[in-house]
Amino acid sequence: MTPTSANAGAASSYTEHVTRVLTEDREHQGIGTVAVLTFAPPEGESRPATLGPQSFENVDAALTRALERAEAGEIQAIALTGTDRVFFAGADLSMFTDASVQEIIDPMTHRAHDLQVRMRAAVVPVLAHLNGAALGGGLEVALMADVRTAGPKVRGIGLPETSLGILPGWGGTTLLQSVIDPAEAVRVILEDPARDKQLSATEAEQLGLVDVLVDDLESALDHLATRIADGAVDPSSRPDPIPAAGSERAQALLAALDAPHTTAETRREWAARMESVGAPSLARTIGVLDALPGSTLSESLSAEREAIVGLGTSDAAAGSLYAAELLRRGKPGRRPVEGAREIRRVGVAGAGLMASQIAAQLALGLQVPVVLRDLDEDIAAKGLEHARGVIGQAASRGKLDEESARQVADLLSATADVADLADCDLVLEAVPEVLKVKKSVLAELEGVLSPSALLVTNTSSLSVAAMSEELAHPERVVGLHFFNPVAKMPLVEVVRTERTSPEVLATGHEVVRRCRKFGVESADAPGFIVNRLLFRVLSEVLRSADRGADLSEVDASLDPMGLPMRPFELLDLVGIGVADHVGKVLADQLGTERFPVSQGLERLLESGEAGTVRDRSQVHPQVSDALRTAFSGVSAGGADEGGSVPVGDELLDRVLRGLAEEVGLMLQEGVVEQPEQIDLALILGAGYPRHRGGLTPYLDQTGVSQEVTGAAFHGDRFTH
């Protein structure tokens, strides 16, 4: 089916891949004639079925026809299902990026709500068999049914909308609490999306979201027949989905909204905090849920409609949906990277904490022998033990079964003899971040490896070109910067030098793909992507701290950005020694005007103390006495011309302007080709907020990119 453009009369660039609804009648001995509606992607396409304006029109028409046939007595039940591994993937998110989004979403939402009401008045039972994923609007379609079943292996059930800057606005916010325990409904709507959690079929059954797990539609119909026969499904007396004011269900719902999100804040407080940093979807969703008890279905659906239409045009939705698309496109592919070499054996030079984590990841991903090598046999043995422990932890989290874990662990070995790496196709060095040491290790490896073997560095900030300049074959060197902790961090920066061969670069990307990580390519430049930008932020923060600003005020100054942690907590996480080292590398390579060396940070490193103190009753750790001592008495330039040291909004402005400048330079220098690479790297490697789109959409929305670089990074997409 040819894609169609929505709202042809409006200034719309949205092109829809129109979902088909395949209809057939199926005879069932215990039910009679069942109208089976199957949601399918456009003919000849393998993409999941999604809901755009024309798709929803098709769904509406098919369901309306089924309801009419039920009224006429032609059918005795309606069954909804999907194709392949997808029931319904939900709304087509690309329509939210269109300039005419409000004109698209409002009538679709009205149609969805009208269907919810009419399906609840169906004179025959309605079944939804989740043959595959049911997300967002797809699950809301399933909520139209009296009975829901699912395949035992189905994954991807949930309502992720609040993480996309909107809310479940096609009936989900209103109706989920009528199907499962209200406390669980609140968790599924508010907290699961923030944790990127989706339900498996088993979990959905445990919650009561699906009634039973069955292998196929025929078995689902058998279950429906049983429910009809025992009187559990009666279309003439469906319960009111809205809890009465003061009822037990209403009290449970309101209590869930006031329940702890963490030890430091309730869900309401969390939602209010997120709204204060530019993410209003949680607060709007809580508002709809708050008003639910004692209202009517029509009133609650109207509240949903008002909320989703308003949120759909917000900066947070624009940033969130942009981020979602980046993550979708950047996800590790199923096909091998073209031009990559075959890797049959891998070596890791070094056996410390980072090296052993990477070795475990390579064994898990590549499924080939991995040899850890360290000069010290005891360190090598400890590294091997730790790497095998990482495999065991993966098994305990359900990532692989125990037998597979044993097989992968057996692929790992350790040695103190560099000759044992001679037959490796790839060796990755993960030794201390000292250029002289890394050059020595690479030179030693080149002396024993075949000329075709890859040499890989895990450096986080040093020049890969400088590391390899004295090698006979620098073209076989590539950087793969894994982030710590390796098992949890999904990003790997793939660093190319001017001399890295295309085949070696492709192989680097293939290694990342097989490790199921997101690879973002960077030119060989100081700090690559993530560290360069993180330290541009920290440099401004430390500049104010060195100049005598109140450290608590400095720490809180960047809160409006919505970052996952405050600056001094980030320093503790990175490690004071690592931060001091990387900061000095960047100062040396890029200049102290943008990356000044912090005297206070040096003194904190000398003290051996942390910069923050964790209090579980507070959202953010507090500044430590050691940090105050380290920065007391430091004099690095004093106040600005106006007599003040930047804190609060002034410091935030300096940070944003500095980031815009740095992004502009990185694009100009060819560190990355597109701002999307920067945003994906910051989201995955530094936890930058998705509702900000990572970074560059936020810089466009605030106008800072235009002011600093003379142009928005994304044209007029995020500007007002």
Would you call 356 a catalytic residue per the annotation?
no
Q: What SS3 string covers 251-307?
A: HHHHHHHHCECCCCCEHHHHHHHHHHCCCCHHHHHHHHHHCCCCCCHHHHHHHHHHH
Q: Which range (63-67, 94-98, 715-719) has the least confidence?
A: 94-98
Q: Is the pLDDT of residue 99 over 80?
A: no
Structural domains present in the chain: 14-313 (3.90.226.10), 346-516 (3.40.50.720), 530-709 (1.10.1040.50)
| 612/516 Cα distance (integer angstroms) | 34
Q: C-alpha angle 674/678/683, rounded to 5°?
A: 140
Average pLDDT over residues 176-194: 98
Per-residue pLDDT at 567? 98
Edge-first strand listing for the sheet containing 199-200: 86-88, 133-135, 155-158, 199-200
**Burial per residue of 651-669, b for 16 or more beta-carbon CB atoms within 10 angstroms, e otherwise:** bbebbbbbbbbbbbbbbee
Q: pLDDT tens, 208-250? A: 999 999 999 999 999 999 999 999 999 999 999 999 999 999 9
- Indicate the DSSP class of residue 3: -
Higher pLDDT, 361 or 98: 361
Paired strand residues for 199: 157
Would you call 493 a catalytic residue per the annotation?
yes
Counted residue by residue, the chain has a size of 720
Per-residue pLDDT at 218? 97
Catalytic residue among 300, 460, 539, 624: 460
Handedness of CA 56, 62, 68, 70 (dihedral sign): negative
Would you call 460 a catalytic residue per the annotation?
yes
Q: ω into residue 485 within 30 of 0, thus cis? A: yes
Average pLDDT over residues 563-575: 96
Measured distance between the N- and C-terminal CA atoms of the chain, rounded to whole angstroms: 35
Paired strand residues for 142: none
Catalytic residue among 113, 129, 481, 714: 481
Is there a contact between 298 and 304 (Cβ–Cβ < 8 Å)? no
Average pLDDT over residues 43-55: 90
Q: pLDDT tens, 585-599? A: 999 999 999 999 999
Is there a contact between 502 and 692 (Cβ–Cβ < 8 Å)? no
| 189/139 Cα distance (integer angstroms) | 12
**The residue to which tokens 């030179």 are assigned:** 443
Average pLDDT over residues 610-620: 94
Q: Is the pLDDT of residue 141 over 80?
A: yes
Is there a contact between 598 and 542 (Cβ–Cβ < 8 Å)? yes
**The residue to which tokens 């070795």 are assigned:** 359
Q: pLDDT tens, 421-456? A: 999 999 999 999 999 999 999 999 999 999 999 999
Handedness of CA 44, 161, 519, 681 (dihedral sign): positive
Q: Which of 460, 465, 471 has its CA nearest to residue 433?
A: 460
Q: Is the pLDDT of residue 8 over 70?
A: no
| 529/192 Cα distance (integer angstroms) | 29
Q: Is the pLDDT of residue 492 over 70?
A: yes
Q: What percent of the chain has pLDDT over 70?
A: 97
- What token pair was written down for 504? 């070696």
Q: How confident is the model at residue 643 (pLDDT cuts 50, 70, 90)?
A: low
How large is the angle between the packed helices 599-607 and 530-546, nearest 10 degrees? 90
Catalytic residue among 16, 493, 569, 662: 493
Per-residue pLDDT at 649? 97
Helix, strand and coil percent figures for the chain, each rounded to 5: 50, 15, 35
Q: Which of 357, 627, 334 has its CA nearest to residue 480?
A: 357
Would you call 110 a catalytic residue per the annotation?
no
- Mean pLDDT (the chain) is 94
Is there a contact between 134 and 87 (Cβ–Cβ < 8 Å)? yes
- Indicate the DSSP class of residue 332: P
| 299/466 Cα distance (integer angstroms) | 66
- Dihedral pair phi/psi, residue 667, rounded to 5°: -70, -40
Catalytic residue among 295, 463, 522, 531: 531
Decide: pTM greater than 0.85.
yes
